[in-house]
Structure 1
């Protein structure tokens, strides 16, 4: 067989058919994942010369291009025989798959050296690093496609096929794949089929790619496109439309720069009770020790207000006690720093109902009560009804709960652990990492 790049090998009619199938696949992909539609329509098709059977002269599929590889400049490489024999929905699936590589910056994150030569079909030892990263990046993307009811073509890698947990990053999958490959390799089998997704996956230029001057969106255009995608995804989430977890995480990270969450949490707690710790105001409730030159005049003293905070802990069945102890220890440590060591903190456990209030000085003193369903509204209502009334309510939760529809009379600070939950738009929110940094 001959796979020359000579354009005379492909008829003009075949190229038109390829472009027509690409257009149909793009419409299919935009319909199945509308939150990625603008990115799908930003892809540019490049029709490659066909693979021709030297004996019959007919076009045959080239397995090296079964994934319709994409480069870092958003060009989709369509090998003629492969495109004409692949069902339109399968081509559309690959388009959605490659959007994941492009907007999640897998090429920039790739550990593969730029000078590496990648040939998925050859399977040369030097290609191992590139293939393994491609598989890890595929695993990061494909569980989100499966969540949309779009399982991949036969032979593609996925966390479910590998027996690995879903919703990890490509870097996390890479370390696990190395271990799996070593174990499976002892039996003489491949971990998964070699599928080449192009330089969009690993940053290594392929022979079929156009020269650097071959066009594609500019850096600014890509920036605007990605921000538009992220905003659209968050709008869908706010409207209660389904969006896979991986894409929700990406959109949140894309629009919200990384911050020191402990510093943010401390700032929100201080803001909640209105006055920062330290000598910040004057009060006549305690006379000043400095009489000055007018001993008959009662001067006000500087006071240090102590925050009156109540912590509501989500003790429903969906939240583990390990998570709760971690969150509570973090919050009480900050509260001690704001209000002084040894101060008593009011704590309410809540599942479907609010349990009796506890006053503790250490996280270890909290007795975790509950384990049923989830409704943080009950705990919040009980907290705001306490006397003296708190000037800040802190809720520790995974966010899988109904929330009050109206803003409270006191500030509400929601500490979310995990990635699935949400908080009211009017509340202060901070995400707490599940593992200790």
Structure 2
């Protein structure tokens, strides 16, 4: 085989995989053909010069412009069916918007494309877990079609998890399952890297392959795909339930914002409680070994949370009270019952802090203009300083130019407001309905 014929063979095999994928899931054919392949430089054996598959590219990682990155050695080593399975899998990440929904954010101060993964083998644990949860959302539908994934991908059925859940729900379930497995001496398998299509964080190879699809082209593709799935479902053609629900939600979006808020709060508090430090308030049990010296023990801090509440008048009091009730309930589940939540009502200025255990204790004050900068600044002046700041606002406000020292989660009420790039965000409907009991 000459070097000149190898790319032709690679692309011919990739084309075969694309046709296989369309035959297995014809309702996704337009999406599969919309993927733009980008042929990457192959890795070579240092001794023989032969091409070797790159493990980092085993999943044919895609980016949010619908460019799928193709490692030539991986294509040649894989059967057509496996490559086709990965194409269907990547379409799932892209169409279901996992990058936009991801709670993972670039690390503070990161400017390059390598902050999500060291790309020497150690990937960020939060990105790992979100990738696994997003995989679970996709793979139960593929399993419905009889398409079993390769080793290393999360299978809800094999793990004993329920089908037809969102990635946000699977994220919580996988956390609980992994804790149980670790106590038993095992753990979940390491997640494969599905690329920025799964978490929105740029990879080194994302700059290869050109522009892919524009935002307008992606919007038109998704609408066409959703309409086609709905037509098939109406005609009683076989379409997995997850895709039918996605098509319905595509025209009538119904994002489970409670699951998103819970996931992001859990992530922020877990990262904080995972930090440890030395403290002399509890001497080390090994202090006697050091004679007259008293040595400190390692401590795990209790995460501090503060809520900045937009009371400028653009959001009604009943909605705010109901949302605060939801958030206090979530924090109770994450941090334990009875924890106090510090709340700062804010219009153009921050009002005195209130410490509450439940929403009924909150007194809403304010009603002027809106400037969440004042509320966030006041939250950072609290002592002890918060580890996580929640901001509930309609987004019609100026924001600090720089990321505060604490993690910030912005709950945007309604459809019009915006949050800064450095904050995690969840959009909440303005007409919040009371949660069913």
Q: Tell me, in whole angstroms, the C-alpha distance in 2 between the residues paired with 1:15 and 1:111.
A: 38
Determine the structure 1 residue equivalent to 2:424: none
Seen in structure 2, the aligned counterparts of structure 1 residues 141 and 120 have a Cα distance that, compared at 3 Å, is: farther
Q: Tell me, in whole angstroms, the C-alpha distance in 1 between the residues paired with 2:156 and 2:118.
A: 21
**Contact 2:40–2:71 (CA under 8 A) maintained in structure 1:** yes
Determine the structure 2 residue equivalent to 1:46: 38
Seen in structure 2, the aligned counterparts of structure 1 residues 179 and 120 have a Cα distance that, compared at 3 Å, is: farther
Q: Tell me, in whole angstroms, the C-alpha distance in 1 between the residues paired with 2:131 and 2:52.
A: 26
- Offset at 1:185? 2.4
- Offset at 1:120? 8.2
- Offset at 1:11? 3.5
Equivalent of 1:225, from 192, 215, 221? Answer: 221
Equivalent of 2:89, from 83, 97, 115? Answer: 97
Determine the structure 2 residue equivalent to 1:239: 235
SS in structure 2 of the partner of residue 208 of structure 1: helix
Determine the structure 2 residue equivalent to 1:119: 117
Query: Is 2:30 the counterpart of 1:30?
Result: no
Q: Tell me, in whole angstroms, the C-alpha distance in 1 between the residues paired with 2:163 and 2:253.
A: 24
Determine the structure 1 residue equivalent to 2:136: 139
Seen in structure 2, the aligned counterparts of structure 1 residues 206 and 53 have a Cα distance that, compared at 3 Å, is: same
Determine the structure 2 residue equivalent to 1:256: 252
Query: Is 2:181 the counterpart of 1:184?
Result: yes
- Offset at 1:90? 0.5
Normalised to the residue count of structure 1, the TM-score between the two structures is: 0.55
SS in structure 2 of the partner of residue 157 of structure 1: coil
Normalised to the residue count of structure 2, the TM-score between the two structures is: 0.55
Deviation string 1:192-213 (CA, Å, 9 cap, x unpaired) is 23200000001010011116x9
SS in structure 2 of the partner of residue 217 of structure 1: coil
Seen in structure 2, the aligned counterparts of structure 1 residues 258 and 137 have a Cα distance that, compared at 3 Å, is: closer
- Offset at 1:82? 1.0
Determine the structure 2 residue equivalent to 1:407: none
Aligned length: 253
- Unaligned runs of 5+ residues in structure 2 are 108-113, 256-432
Seen in structure 2, the aligned counterparts of structure 1 residues 65 and 120 have a Cα distance that, compared at 3 Å, is: farther
Query: Is 2:73 the counterpart of 1:81?
Result: yes
- The structure whose Rg is larger is 1
- Offset at 1:114? 2.9
**Contact 2:128–2:190 (CA under 8 A) maintained in structure 1:** no
- Unaligned runs of 5+ residues in structure 1 are 1-9, 260-432
Deviation string 1:332-354 (CA, Å, 9 cap, x unpaired) is xxxxxxxxxxxxxxxxxxxxxxx
Q: Tell me, in whole angstroms, the C-alpha distance in 1 between the residues paired with 2:66 and 2:167.
A: 20
Q: Tell me, in whole angstroms, the C-alpha distance in 1 between the residues paired with 2:210 and 2:244.
A: 32
Determine the structure 1 residue equivalent to 2:203: 206
Comparing both chains, which one has the higher relative contact order based on Cα–Cα distances under 8 Å and sequence gaps of 6 or more? 2
Deviation string 1:192-240 (CA, Å, 9 cap, x unpaired) is 23200000001010011116x9311111111110010001001001111
Q: Tell me, in whole angstroms, the C-alpha distance in 2 between the residues paired with 1:59 and 1:123.
A: 20
Q: Which residues of 2 match residues 358-437 of structure 1 at below 5 A?
A: 436=436
My pick for the range that moved more, 11-20 or 24-33, is 11-20
Deviation string 1:69-125 (CA, Å, 9 cap, x unpaired) is 11111111111111110001110000001101001000000001134723387553x
SS in structure 1 of the partner of residue 11 of structure 2: helix
Seen in structure 2, the aligned counterparts of structure 1 residues 49 and 188 have a Cα distance that, compared at 3 Å, is: farther
Give the superposed CA RMSD: 2.3
- Offset at 1:67? 0.8
- Offset at 1:26? 0.6
SS in structure 1 of the partner of residue 103 of structure 2: coil
Q: Tell me, in whole angstroms, the C-alpha distance in 2 between the residues paired with 1:74 and 1:25.
A: 17
Query: Is 2:208 the counterpart of 1:216?
Result: no
Determine the structure 2 residue equivalent to 1:265: none
Query: Is 2:148 the counterpart of 1:148?
Result: no
Determine the structure 2 residue equivalent to 1:68: 60
Q: Which residues of 2 match residues 334-373 of structure 1 at below 5 A?
A: none
